[in-house]
Each structure stands twice: as C-alpha cells, then as structure tokens.
Structure 1
Amino acid sequence: MTTLTFALPDGSTQTVPVTRLLNAGYAGRDQAEVRAHIDELAELGVPGPATIPTMYPIAPYLAQQTDVVEVQHGRTSGEAEWALVITDSGVLLTAACDHTDRNLEVHGVAWSKNASPDVIATAAWRLDEVRDHLDDITLKAWVGQDRRLIQDGTLGALLDPDHWLGVLAERGLDTPGTVLVSGTITMKSGVDQFADRWEVELGDPVTGATIDLAYTVRPLPDPID
C-alpha cells in the first residue's frame, strides 16, 4: 500500500495510507467552456465522455511523492491540479500533477491516467483553514529546465473541493485514505507540454504560503521486441 506523508503548517506531519485514488476530469466551473474543450479534443481523436464532470478510478499505488517520472515515449505530459486527501482527522488540500500518456489518451482517458503517476506534493494545508478563500488560491505550472509558464489560474476556475466531497459522500467514498485529484486548468498556447520537467505550485494570497512539487521526466530504456 502506498503511504503519503505531509508536512503541515503547524510543524506537524501526517501520514496517510492511500486506499483509493480518483481523478476528476472536465472539471472546469464554466461547463460551457468545458464542452468547447471536449469538441477540440474530439478533433484530435480523444473520445469525449458521456457525462461531465467525470471521475476516473486510478490504481492507488499511482499516488506518488516522487521527483522522477519514467515514461515510455516522448508524448506524455503533466497537468497542474489540487488534491484532496481524506484522513482520520479531517481533509487535507495539496498540490498535484497528473502525468498523462497523450498517445494512450486517444484510446481511453482512464487508460492514459493509469499509465503514469499522480505526483503529490509533500506539504499540505488543512482544508478547513483555507476554505474561506479557496477561489483565490493560485495554481501554476512550469515546464522544462528553463521554467516556461504553461498554466496560470486560480482554484476558482475549477469545481471546488466541497463539490467533490459531496460526490464522494453520495457514493460512500469519503473514507480515510481516499485521494481525489481535481482536474486541470487551461494550458497556454505555444508552450510545449512535452517537456523533461514539470513543476506545480499552489499559492495562498492570504498567508503568502506555497505548496509545490517538481519532477523530472525520464525516458525508459528502449525495449527489446
């Protein structure tokens, strides 16, 4: 079983054995814009969902606190997201990056999500302590060794954590060890997402605190086939 460990603002740490990992998708708050995005993806061969927003079950071991993601080819990329982590003592909010196989995505989004890890930050905030200004928390991503900004927005662009906690409760999934990753915000045009490094940051404008993660994308050796 994968275990995640988080540093909290009060100096304590919390360890969470992951029992369930879920990836939200098409989770923008403006669902008309989401529909337009689905149409764009369809032109690239990515099948659209029957229902939006979506929620994909992912193998729990793919929730990883790592600084290296190994991939099979050059068309994989991350997505800046937040993650909810349900614990015995409450809900944590942290940064995440859903690394996705774009070649596999055209055959099935759920398959593409299971091909690489959801990278999770090693620090977290208690959701109750930031709930009153969640929409103002910033979400950014940079790619490459030269840190090219590829995503820049706020949590207000996405369906909020309480929406997803309600969905989990309806399905009996709001139990300790559940990790839900939020879905992502728009990528900037003209920035190559197929980079050798991804970095994601959550920023709290009220306290000035940040939570970040970074990892290198490393190709696996060529197979013998």
Structure 2
Amino acid sequence: MPTLSFDLPDGTTVTTPVTTLLNAGYAGRDQADVAAHVAELAELGVPAPKVTPALYPVAPYLAAQTDEVPAQHGRTSGEAEWALVITAEGVLLTVACDHTDRELEVHGVAWSKNAAPDVLGRKAWRLDDVADRLDSLTLRGWADGQLIQDGTLAELLTPQHWLDVLRERGLYEPGVVLISGTIPMVPGVNQFAGEWRVELGDPATGNTIEAAYRVRRLPEVIG
C-alpha cells in the first residue's frame, strides 16, 4: 500500500498508509444543478450514476504525491478537488487532482477513475483548524497555465457530509482517503493539457496548498 506524507503549518509532518481510496462524484451541494449536469454528460455518452452523490472505490495504490502522471493517450484530464485524509493523528484536509481517462469514462466512470492516479498535495491542514471557515476556502485549477476552475468549497458537499457517510459504512478509520468531487470548469476550455496545477486556499490566512504535475505520454503500443 502507498504511504503519504503531509507537512502541517505547525512544522510537524504526518505520515499515513493508504488502505482505502474513495472518489466522490456528482457532489455539488445543489443537487438540482447536479441533475442537469448528469443529463448533459449522458448526451456525451457518459453513463448516469444510479444515485447522486456517487462514491467510487479506487485502488489505493493510485493515491500519489507525484510530479508526473503517465497517460496512454491525449484524452485524459484532471479536476481540482479537496481531499480528506484520516490518520492516526486526526483528519487532514489537502488539495487533490483526480486525473481521469475520458475515453474510458464513456464505458464506466468507476473504470475511468481506476485508470489514472489521484494526485494529492504534500501539505495539509488539520480539519479542525479550518472547520469554522470551510465554505470560504478557495479551490482553483489550471491546465497548461490557464485558469479553468475557480470556486469555493461552498459549491461542494461538506467534509462533514462525507465523514458521516464513512461512519455509516464502517470506513471511518486511519488510512482512508476521500476525494471530494469537483467544481465546474470554465465553459469551452481545452482540458486535455500537458500540465496541471490545483490549489486549495485559505483567504483568512493567505495560506495555500497546491499539487502540480506534468502528463507524460507513454510509448505507442506494439501489437
């Protein structure tokens, strides 16, 4: 199983193995907007979930703190998200980029989530330290240097919502990582980029957490 390490604002470092990795989907706080989005995706051939919000189990080894993501073709892309990391020392909040195979997505969202890594930041905040201002935290994403996502955590279901789900399912334990689902992209942008950067920001302190990586195309298949 992979091990993640996070630097905290107080100068300490928390390290945890990843035993369970979960990707939330269709996790906007306004579920009427989510329903409209599901209908739009259906027109593009992406199968609709049976329920919303959705939660997709992902192979734990796909949780990564990396500067490079390999891709088999040019139709993969990331998404700006936050992540909850349950550790033996409490719950951490960090930024994440859910890299997804869009070609595979039309055959099954869960399959596409397992075809590329979830890239997490190397810094984190203790959830309790920002709990009083979660909705004001900012979430941004850049593709090849272009800002394509810009919002706040108020647009997404709350960390507490997902912690309650984990408790109900017996999954509230150290080693569990849950990634939030994403905010809307700027209409008309080209998301099939070679470089991705995502940022979680705290306007109250000016502190930010980022994750950035380049996409490396794998060699062509022989056979």
User: Which range, TM-score by smaller chain?
Assistant: over 0.9
Alignment of 1:36-51 (within 5 A): 36-51=36-51
Q: Note the aligned Cα RMSD (angstroms).
A: 0.4
2:78 maps to amino acid: G
The residue aligned with 1:136 is 136
Name the CA distance, whole Å, in 2 between partners of 1:95 and 1:219: 24
Q: 2:182 aligns with which of 181, 184, 187?
A: 184
SS at 2:131's partner residue? helix
Q: CA deviation at 1:136?
A: 0.3
Q: CA deviation at 1:89?
A: 1.5
2:208 maps to amino acid: T
Alignment of 1:1-225 (within 5 A): 1-144=1-144, 147-225=145-223
2:196 maps to amino acid: W
1:40 maps to amino acid: E
Name the CA distance, whole Å, in 2 between partners of 1:212 and 1:160: 20
SS at 1:22's partner residue? strand
SS at 1:165's partner residue? helix
Gaps of 5+ in 1: none
Q: CA deviation at 1:190?
A: 2.1
1:127 maps to amino acid: L
Name the CA distance, whole Å, in 1 between partners of 2:173 and 2:58: 16
CA displacement 1:112-150 (0-9 Å, x = unmatched): 000000000000000000000000000000011xx1000
Name the CA distance, whole Å, in 2 between partners of 1:20 and 1:45: 29
Runs of 4+ in 1 over 3 A off after TM superposition: none
SS at 2:9's partner residue? coil
Name the CA distance, whole Å, in 2 between partners of 1:183 and 1:3: 22
2:42 maps to amino acid: A
TM-score normalized by structure 1? 0.99
Name the CA distance, whole Å, in 2 between partners of 1:67 and 1:160: 28
1:89 maps to amino acid: E
TM-score normalized by structure 2? 0.99
Name the CA distance, whole Å, in 2 between partners of 1:9 and 1:43: 45
Identity %: 70
1:224 maps to amino acid: I
SS at 1:112's partner residue? helix
Q: CA deviation at 1:155?
A: 0.3
1:66 maps to amino acid: T
Q: Matched residue pairs, number?
A: 223
Name the CA distance, whole Å, in 2 between partners of 1:11 and 1:89: 15
SS at 2:85's partner residue? strand
Name the CA distance, whole Å, in 1 between partners of 2:89 and 2:160: 17
